[in-house]
Homo-oligomer: A and B are copies of this chain.
Amino acid sequence: MAATGHCAIGTDLVRTVTESGTPPEARSSGPRRLYQDIARRIEIMLRDGGYAPGDRLPPERELAQRLGVSRPSTREAVIALEVAGIVEVRTSSGIYVRIAGPTSDIRLRHLLSGDPGPGPYEALEMRRLLEGEAAYRAATRLTENDSAALREALAAMRDDGGPVADRGNPADQAFHEQIAAASGNSVLAMMVRELWNARALPLWRRWIERTRTADMHLERVREHKQILECLNAGDGDGAREAMHAHIDAVARRFAQG
């Protein structure tokens, strides 16, 4: 039945399966890995195939056969979708749909569709909102531990020479994440961390390179110091303002290039 039914457009069939000795691999864009292809196809199948949350997908073996790939590869794809929260796997029972809509996960989107991800400006807008709020909340609930950790991060930042190639700017990131953690809301902390981790995406490398100059680094340190002072003083509004000023400055430095 479905044997030859996969006319899929852009994706086409990656391989002709079993006995075919021809690995054409006319992959349109880059040497993507098979499990990513499969995951994307399954996701499309969920969206356009009339699947609703709670529905059960075909068994692994059938899925593999229908997609013309091996079971291990299919398993890899299913695991990717499981980690991304799109499906749920119940042992000996089946694979079930969790959410039907398009993927919300930034990383899986990037892996699956080559989506470059959100631009730095959008992310900075969000950092302004989230980290400003985090600073405000942190000011009134800062513990001695938090304060010490922030001092340490600031000192580390003073010492190192700014962003390091290939590993971002650990001290900078630590400072911001520490504030987010001190806000008392784990979701807020998680989102801030996610925004910072997104900098590893290709789009951001250039930006990080561009702001590695020594004077920009000094500016950053000064702005951080200002934020820390407000936090230590318990001045929530001041902390928010200082954070906003800092991120506005980051955006300005970025635009200068």
Contacts and interface: CB of A to CB of B under 8 A. Distances in A.
A33 B188 CA distance: 29
A185 B111 contact: no
A56 interface: no
B106 A190 contact: yes
Interface string A184-201: 011110110111010010
Contacts of A72: 72, 75
A58 interface: no
A4 to B, nearest CB: 24
A129 interface: yes
A197 to B, nearest CB: 5
Interface string A110-131: 0100000010001101100110
A133 interface: yes
Interface residues of A, number: 49
Contacts of A89: 33
A99 B200 contact: yes
Interface string A31-73: 1010100000000000000001110000000000000000010
Contacts of A107: 83-85, 105
Contact of A79 (B53, B79, B91, B122): B79
A213 interface: no
Interface string A15-38: 000000000000000010101000
Contacts of A53: 166-168, 200
A186 B80 contact: no
Interface in A66-108: 72, 75-76, 79-80, 82-85, 89, 91, 98-99, 101, 104-108
Interface of A: 31, 33, 35, 52-54, 72, 75-76, 79-80, 82-85, 89, 91, 98-99, 101, 104-108, 111, 118, 122-123, 125-126, 129-130, 133, 166-168, 177, 185-188, 190-191, 193-195, 197, 200
4 A-B pairs with least C-beta separation = A104-B193, A53-B167, A85-B107, A54-B166
